[in-house]
Every structure is written in structure tokens, then in C-alpha cells.
Amino acid sequence: MIYLLRHGQTQFNAEGRLQGHVDSDLTDKGADQARAMGRALCGLIDDPSDWRIAVSPLGRAQATAALVAEALPGIRLDIEPRLIEVSFGAYDGSLRAELEAEYPGAFGPSGWTFRADMGESYETTRSRVGDWLAGLPPEPDRKVIAVTHGITGLVLRGVYADLTLEEVVGMPAPQDAFFQLKDGQITRIEA
């Protein structure tokens, strides 16, 4: 089983900035979201020492994972580079509204794109998260909490459920809920 979490709200999220590989701190709301996810997980996991948290190397995901881990004594945290957020290349850190004004349609009909200058492609993202999934133990021995990002989490769910790009871009990427991936099913859990 995998519990898939997105990091809590960051300052950049609140400002409407693309983050990609640049970082910003969790807001107070984001820290509260992380703690709420930890409390929810505590009610779902019998023995945290049987589980591990695989976390993106970016600071916002690591801060979220640390707050989640406070509710799960004995859980191990492992940095997992393949869970890093998609890079928007030259657009990392930019205000989304300014980019949309300067480059109408740059984010496509879905509201986000993988075609930013020097950004990471959908195919590359799908390959790296698919590689991570393929390396996990089979169910029921799979006991991992993945703390990642909005787009990477969408792609990961898409790989898990064998969804098309069109299906992936239509899914939500909440910061106040997370997903259970088990037996080929994806279930949303409110925090």
C-alpha cells in the first residue's frame, strides 16, 4: 500500500508562483495541513515502524514529511530523488499570472504544461515515477508513505492506474487530503 501526500501549502502556492525545483517555506496553513495528514495517517497505520516515508529532496516536501512523522513514532524517512517535482525550467519561481499574460496559452487547456523552456517533459516524469513504483515491494509488503508534489503526485497516480495524460490533468492535487493506492485502486482520504 502507498499513502500519497502532497506537501502543505507554501508561500509560493499562496502567491500563485510556479515552484518546480525552487523552494519556498510552508505557510502556517501548510504546516497545519501536514500535521492533519499525520494525525489521519496515525489512525490508519497500526505500527509506524513497519512503514517508511519516501520524500522528495525539496525542502517543502521534507518539512511536510517531518511534521507528518511527528504523529508516527518510529517511522523512517528516506530521501527519494525520483519524487522531486517537475521542473518548469526557466519558469521555476515565476508568477503564473504574469506568464499567462506574457505567453497566452502557455499552460495549455489543462492549466499546466510540460513544455516550459528547459522544463521536464511528461514522458520523463512518467518514466522516473514509474521506475520508483516498479522498484517497490509487491503488495501486501508495500508499506510506504510518499511525500511529493502536485504534478509529480498526479503523474504517479496516473502511472499507478495506467491513465492517459488527459485523465491525469483532470485530477485534483489537494494539500488537505491524500490518496491511498492499494490493490489497483486509488482512494481519497480527507485530512
For the domain spanning 2-190, the CATH number is 3.40.50.1240
Q: Where are the domains of the chain?
A: 2-190
- What is the value of pTM for the model shown? 0.93
pLDDT digits (tens, 9 = 90+) for 138-178: 988 899 999 999 999 999 999 999 999 889 988 999 999 99
Q: Average per-residue pLDDT in the chain?
A: 92
Place of cell 499567462: 100
Q: How confident is the model at residue 9 (pLDDT cuts 50, 70, 90)?
A: very high
Where is pLDDT greater, at 111 or 102?
102
| Of the candidates 22, 89, 29, 91, the residue with the CA atom closest to the CA atom of residue 60 | 22
The pLDDT assigned to 90 comes to: 83
CA distance linking residue 36 with residue 43, whole number of Å: 11
Q: Which residues 6+ apart lie within 8 Å of 131 measured at CB?
A: 82
CA dihedral 172, 177, 181, 185 (to 10 degrees): -60
The pLDDT assigned to 110 comes to: 61
CB atoms within 10 A of CB 121: 12
pLDDT digits (tens, 9 = 90+) for 36-80: 999 999 999 999 999 999 999 999 999 999 999 999 999 999 999
Q: How confident is the model at residue 99 (pLDDT cuts 50, 70, 90)?
A: confident
The pLDDT assigned to 117 comes to: 67
